[in-house]
Amino acid sequence: MMLTLLLWGYSCGVSSSREMERRCSTDVAFRYLSANQAPDYRV
């Protein structure tokens, strides 16, 4: 899941792990790819 989110984030221009975490709760594409879970950026 994390690799998928990382690749999708970079292709969308999002390189910050904190921004990816925020998008997992707001952006539909990120929510779909993360199976509606919000990963912790500190892990």
14 sits in the region (left: phi over 0; alpha: psi -120 to 50; else beta) called: beta
Q: Average pLDDT in the 10-14 region?
A: 95
**Rounded to whole angstroms, how far apart are CA atoms 34 and 12?**
15
pLDDT of residue 41: 66
pLDDT of residue 43: 64
**What ranges do the domains of the chain cover?**
2-33
Burial of 39 (0-12, 13-18, 19+ CB in 10 A): middle
pTM of the model: 0.80
pLDDT of residue 1: 86
User: Of 28, 27, 20, which Cα lies nearest the Cα of 4?
Assistant: 20
**Rounded to whole angstroms, how far apart are CA atoms 3 and 20?**
12
